[in-house]
Copies of this chain bind each other. A is one copy, B any other.
Amino acid sequence: MKYTTIIDIAKELGISKSTVSRALRDDDYNVSKETKQKILEAAERLGYKRNELAVNLRKQSTRTIGIVVPEMITPFYMNFITRAQEILNKAGYRVTLAQSHEDVEAERLNLQMMEDYRVEGILISVCHDKKNHELYQSLLDKHIPLVFFDRTVADISAPKVQINDYIKAFFMVEYLIRSGKQRIVHLAGPSYIQNANERKKGYKDALEKFHLPCPPEYIVDAGVNFADGERAVEGLIRQGVSFDAIFGFTEMSVLGAKSCLQRHHYHIPEDVAIGCISGTELCKLVHPSITAVEQPVMQMAEEASRLIMEKIKDFSAVDETVILEAEMVVRESTLL
């Protein structure tokens, strides 16, 4: 019912609570071997559990880190969170999660919630590269460390962990070309996501390298969702655009595209090859007919965790930007 406190232990042993506190905390710095032994034993016996609340109040710290992601439907962010939480917990931090559901307003509320919770740092993958710019800056101005990962923003001085989307996209498209495809369309992501722009650039440059045509109708604004992808491909077919491969921005839009093609009785990937940049094992399993380039999500989580902890320790540390190249392993669609 009522938890044992250091006072209970002190009373039990007839010593002061400071000594108890020291014994339980300090590495036997200012407490004799024997008393320490006695204290540890009593703590064990009484089922002592330190009250983090009191410690944190005293130390003026919450030992909590917030993670804000645009979505958690695809396993990419889920994996990121799992790994980051593992690392941060081990380092004595708790983690508070929030999803923005690709909505700028929700993201704003999430960040405000994080501030209310007095998190000591925030890992964030943004849903818009500009809209909440001022909020990020105001958080930084209040000396709340931010680390941007995956979907980052320009013009903000903070640590960042990014994937080289340009190279990834270039490589993916090159792969499609080398496997015999010539008319590759791109389901582009929204222009307010930097990664989308990078990938579009990679796509274009790859086509150019191989002197393949890239008429305007090959690049479709396809959003981020399943329905967006479906709609985009539906549009292509309706317009009579002929293509033999698709390179899409998000996994969800690519899945939508696939679904749409199947409805139109396309054979995948014989008729149309689909490529995307995928973050997880699961995706490989659930849609083996889609060719993908791997995302180093674990590494990303590790770097981001490291960076936020560094920033918490020293807010004025330099703002490192980590760009993950990772292996460019293409998973071929062997199964279907």
Contacts and interface: CB of A to CB of B under 8 A. Distances in A.
Given A49-B116, A113-B89, A1 B143 contact: yes
Nearest to A116: B49
Contacts of A262: 288, 335-336
Contact of A82 (B99, B287, B288): B99
A52 B1 CA distance: 22
A159 to B, nearest CB: 20
A96 B94 CA distance: 8
Contact of A259 (B95, B143, B256, B288): B288
A151 B51 CA distance: 31
A103 B252 CA distance: 31
B285 A49 contact: no
A192 interface: no
A226 B288 CA distance: 13
B73 A94 contact: no
A154 interface: no
Q: Residue among A53, A85, A226, A335 with the most chain B CB within 10 A?
A: A53
Nearest to A281: B73
Contacts of A210: none
A56 interface: yes
Interface residues of A, number: 46
Interface in A33-51: 49, 51
Interface string A5-31: 000000000000000000000000000
B288 A286 contact: no
How many copies of this chain are found per oligomer? Answer: 2
Residue of A85, A142, A286 ringed by the most chain B CB atoms within 10 A: A286
B226 A285 contact: yes
A244 B255 CA distance: 27
A115 interface: yes
A258 B287 CA distance: 11
B282 A335 contact: no
Contacts of A96: 94-95
Interface in A97-156: 97, 99, 113, 115-118, 142-143
Contact of A285 (B75, B95, B259): B259
Contacts of A56: 53
11 contacts: A1-B142, A49-B116, A53-B53, A53-B118, A82-B99, A89-B113, A97-B97, A252-B285, A262-B335, A286-B286, A286-B287
Q: Which 3 A-B pairs have the closest CB atoms?
A: A286-B286, A53-B57, A262-B335
